[in-house]
Amino acid sequence: MIDYKKIIADKLDVPVSREELTSMITETADDTFGDFALPCFRLARSMRMSPVAIAEKLAADFETDEHIVKAEAVNGYLNFFVNRLEMTWEVISDVFAARGHYGDSDIGAGKTVCIDYSSVNICKSFHIGHLSTTAIGSALYKIYSALGYRVVGINHLGDYGTQFGKMIVAFKLWGDRTIAEKEGVAELQRLYVKFHREEPSHPELTEQAREWFARIEKGDPEAQELFEFFKRVTLEEVMTIYDRLNVRFDSWNGESFFNDKMEGPLQLLRDKGLITESQGAQVVDLSEYDMPPCLLVKSDGSSLYATRDIAAAIWRKKEYDFDKCLYVVAYQQNLHFKQFFKVLDLAGFEWAKDLVHVAFGMVSLEDGAMSTRKGNVVLLKDVINKAVDKAGEIIEAKNPGLPNRDKVAEQVGVGAVLFSALENSRIKDIVFSYDRVLNFDGETSPYLQYTYARCNSILEKAGDYKSSCVPGDYRALDNPETLRLIKLIGSFPQTVLDAAAKYEPSLISALLIDIAQAFNRFYIAHRVISDNAAEQNARLQVVEATAAVLKRGLALLGIEAPDKM
């Protein structure tokens, strides 16, 4: 697309750099005031004139051309009008030329981004609290891939700790392998909850759990076999959920993988004089940086999350030579990431600056926080199933003859669940509600999917309009409704870049909603299928471009777009 900001900046004679001037030029909120605007207030001091006088002088001196057809001063702003028919043609041409990959680029060619997300816990239910990290991480994976990066998706499994000693004790006391094979994680979860209910009145269970975990660490055959059984049962179940959510990973190296990789980093920190002893524990003092000490080894010699995360970061840098490593984890872990990032920085790892905590808000239930130990969770598979069932009911009521009805219901239901985690700023807390997630009206994924299907229906009704050899009359697109839609479509590539730079998939979600709403206003205001072939073909190009962008945008969020609904 033509870089209108650069063209405008090159034509203005003001005492700021071209880079700064370009950043000052913004798109207008109201098309009646032009397409781009330069607020002149920041120029008042250097130019020793009022903003109003500056805008008027620059407007008088501005030389229009085939791209920028008008410059107008309004209350200290310099507004610019572009050649709107040219802009429309450029946007539509760019969408068609991209062949389904509009917004993709090679900006990340030769660079690697590691993304640590989802990180399910073995023996624990895959519940709604895992939705945000899974959906955000997966969307970032797809966004960075579209921008040409080599992306490594990492599922840092929670497969280490005394809880596995507890699981073995519970399984040997109350478990049955046949039932566990049949019921899966639900049975393991039942045993885990039962252990914690019995533990207060039977303290000997705690000691037995420690002993069994120690046997896991030492490679005891029975302990290892049970641990691997728990892991297999868990992963078989969660893989079905990942498949439904269109989520993938390239590495499944969890905490246990780094169990034998911690001593090297610990010795390095000792050699650099960073580790001190505190009440028998080994810590790194971070008081100089307004943080509590980073605890690495407890007084009993056991390691902690920070120790394993430090070892994992060092291993990942050696293995993948990443340019950036993202950790998609809730904001409650802010201090943890600040601490171990700082420890790596103090250890002299220059790449510590490339570690990024992509924080997101917590998910809670309407009646309070979730707790795996208490069994107070909403299973993600139940949410997905409920959403798919509701989608099926709506399809049955509105379009019972729809081909592939079950497949479409799956696409719509899964899309609704994913979009619920991607529609708002990731840092926002979410109080989970079935009514909210399963709302198929308004600014939702089903609304986007339906708009895409409507575009396809219009194009199907028109037939092969391009074979008519009738050129589109772009004058039919010179109206406020089409202009707004075209501008939004034209902003899609930059929005994809912004979503990656800010680690914020919701930027794409918001733009897709804007595009869908603008399309429906366009569709209501202007008859697409008409007797005037030239006008019809121009408007059909807008419809086809809209469909392409909606489908690509949804794909970057991990959501499928059914051709018919």
Question: What local confidence, expressed as pLDDT, does residue 369 receive?
Answer: 55
425, 320: one domain:
no
Same domain? For 323 and 454 the reply is: no
Task: Let me know whether 121 and 77 are in one domain.
Answer: no
Residue 359 Cα distances to 327, 353, 492, 502, 535, angstroms? 8, 16, 24, 11, 48
State the Cα–Cα distance between residues 441 and 461, nearest whole angstrom.
26
* 426 and 487 in a common domain: yes
CATH number at residue 222: 3.40.50.620
Provide the number of structural domains found in the chain: 3
In a domain, 99, yes or no: no
How many angstroms separate the CA atoms of 385 and 397, rounded? 18
Clarify whether residues 417 and 461 are in a common domain.
yes
What's residue 309's pLDDT? Answer: 96
Query: Smallest Cα–Cα separation from 100: which of 555, 425, 447, 449?
Result: 555
CATH of the domain at 429: 1.10.730.10
Say yes or no: 72 and 116 in one domain. no
Active site residues: 124, 127, 130
DSSP 8-state class, residue 423: S
Are 169 and 209 spatial neighbours (Cβ–Cβ below 8 Å)?
A: yes
Report how far residue 39's alpha carbon sits from residue 41's, in angstroms, rounded to the nearest whole number. Answer: 6
**Which of left, alpha, beta for 377 (phi over 0: left; psi -120 to 50: alpha)?**
beta
Give the tokens for residue 26.
């913004």
Give the predicted TM-score (pTM) of the model.
0.93
Same domain, 214 and 356: yes
Do 434 and 309 lie in one domain? The reply is no
Tokens coding 503: 């680690």
Question: Are 146 and 259 in the same domain?
Answer: yes
Q: Tell me, yes or no, whether 435 lies in a domain.
A: yes
Residue 361 near residue 427 (C-beta atoms within 8 A): yes
In a domain, 517, yes or no: yes
**Predicted local confidence at residue 242, as pLDDT:** 97
Give the domain CATH number at 65. 3.30.1360.70
> Does 513 fall in a domain?
yes
- The pLDDT assigned to 486 comes to 97
CA 150 to chain centre: 17
- Residues 268, 324: one domain? yes
Domain contains 96: no
Q: Are residues 457 and 535 in the same domain?
A: yes
Q: Has residue 203 been placed in a domain?
A: yes
**Within this chain, do residues 140 and 64 fall inside the same structural domain, yes or no?**
no
pLDDT tens by residue, the chain, 565 residues: 789 999 999 999 999 999 999 999 999 989 999 999 999 999 999 999 999 999 999 999 999 999 999 999 999 999 999 999 999 999 999 999 999 999 999 999 999 999 999 999 999 889 888 999 999 999 999 999 999 999 999 999 999 888 999 999 999 999 999 999 999 999 998 999 999 999 999 999 999 999 999 898 888 999 999 999 999 999 999 999 999 999 999 999 999 999 889 999 999 999 999 999 988 899 999 999 999 999 999 888 778 889 999 999 999 999 999 999 999 999 999 999 999 999 999 999 999 999 999 999 987 767 655 555 555 678 899 999 999 999 999 999 999 999 999 999 999 999 999 999 999 999 998 887 877 777 777 899 999 999 999 999 999 999 888 766 667 889 999 999 999 999 999 999 999 999 999 999 999 999 999 999 999 999 999 999 998 999 999 999 999 999 999 999 999 999 999 999 9
Tell me the DSSP string of 205-274: HHHHHHHHHHHHHTT-HHHHHHHHHHHHHHHHHHHHHHHHHT---SB---GGGGTTSSHHHHHHHHHTT-
Q: How far apart are CA 474 and CA 472, in angstroms?
A: 6
Give the per-residue pLDDT at 26: 95
Residue at 373 is within a domain: no
Domain of 404, in residue numbers: 390-556
What pLDDT is stored for residue 62 in this prediction? 97
Residue 95 lies in a domain: no
Position 432 scores a pLDDT of: 77
